[in-house]
Structure 1
Amino acid sequence: MNKLYYSYEIFKEDTQNLVNLCRNFEADTFLSIARGGLTLSHLMAQALNQRNLFIINSISYDRKTQKNSHDVFNIPDLSNSKKVLIIDDIIDSGNTMKLILEILKNKYPNIEFKLATLFYKKSALIKPDFYVKEANCWIEFFWEVDIK
């Protein structure tokens, strides 16, 4: 399997690019997908001075193996939000993100949701509204491999 090491230096540049792409959406709330979106959403919240940062949990991988089921839990109360930017590191198959969006749109039908990611695979079921790069191999993010 082809692998790409994704360093902090590249991450900083790509995060700035993603911030610039998302700026005009003017989200009143950020929703980070734990764990992959945590580092990215923190930096984006800092850059855009966004203090309404919530986390939703999703488990679809066991290390490098995709699970057959997708768990989504710890859905925050977004009832005071109008525009929510969902932030994750990558859209791989899109199965989990599609499920997350279905759950959120059913629970909060009056909220406008947009999706921002660093990477996106063209074969995914869903395309993010904002993304920086296409992924065509396995990405090893620095936050996954640098600290053991």
Structure 2
Amino acid sequence: MRKTIKILISKKDIQKRVKEMAKEIVKHYKNLSNELILVGILNGSFIFIADLCREINVPHSIDFMRVSSYGNKTIQNKKVKIIQDLNRNIYNKHILIVEDIIDSGNTLKRILQILKSRNPKSITVCTFLDKPSRRKSKVFVKWIGYSINDKFVVGYGIDYAQKYRHLPYIGYIL
């Protein structure tokens, strides 16, 4: 059965906001003494990180992690398993974690713990979408594309049962 999707954030608005975020990121990292690595969290961030990296005009490289949350049905008992780890050593590097969406913050909190244990020079986080009403773990996100209400969204890399990632906008399922 086909789902009805209502546009929440248009393609034009996404493009504009990504450029604005990139300008803020460039300003922050303009005087780097060490390498900047953008770390995309797969699968959802792949479109956002592709658009973002083309707008960031300070030297940087890209790497990816794929993680899975599993466990029983309670948030507190979920564990984060690394499915695909970084290919690079991040010791003494500046790390910018690039997320598609943050809701509970539990997975991001664990990713931050893992990456901090590898002694990077710095770690910051940017996300395209934030659902602050769903936050369970305290995490600091420096750059947020949009804060949204607690709706199930799709598009711009975000899926529903591996569908709808290709949509050039953010929509929600009616």
Contact 1:60 1:70 in 2 (8 A): yes
Tell me what 1:128 maps to. 141
Give, in angstroms, the shift of residue 68 of structure 1. 4.2
Q: Distance in 1 between matches of 2:123 and 2:19?
A: 21
Structure richer in strand, relative to its length: 1
Post-superposition CA distance 1:18-64 (Å, at most 9, x none): 21221223261110000111111111111114551101002349xxx
Q: Say yes or no: does 1:84 pair with 2:84.
A: no
Give, in angstroms, the shift of residue 104 of structure 1. 0.6
Post-superposition CA distance 1:74-99 (Å, at most 9, x none): 22123365211110111111010001
Identify if the C-alpha distance between structure 1 residues 37 and 81 changes in structure 2 by more than 3 Å, giving closer, same or farther. farther
TM-score by length of 2: 0.68
Letter in 2 for 1:57: R
Aligned residues: 141
Structure 2 unaligned blocks of 5 or more = 1-5, 30-34, 168-174
Give, in angstroms, the shift of residue 142 of structure 1. 4.0
Letter in 1 for 2:119: P
Q: Say yes or no: does 1:34 pair with 2:15.
A: no
TM-score by length of 1: 0.79
Tell me what 2:68 maps to. 59
Q: CA RMSD in A?
A: 2.7
Identify if the C-alpha distance between structure 1 residues 23 and 51 changes in structure 2 by more than 3 Å, giving closer, same or farther. closer
Tell me what 2:155 maps to. 141
Tell me what 2:128 maps to. 118
Tell me what 1:97 maps to. 108
Give, in angstroms, the shift of residue 72 of structure 1. 2.3
Letter in 1 for 2:64: I
Q: Secondary structure at the match of 1:52?
A: strand
Map residues 68-79 of structure 1 onto 2, 5 A cutoff: 68-76=78-86, 77-79=88-90
Structure 1 unaligned blocks of 5 or more = none
Identify if the C-alpha distance between structure 1 residues 109 and 80 changes in structure 2 by more than 3 Å, giving closer, same or farther. closer
Identify if the C-alpha distance between structure 1 residues 51 and 21 changes in structure 2 by more than 3 Å, giving closer, same or farther. closer
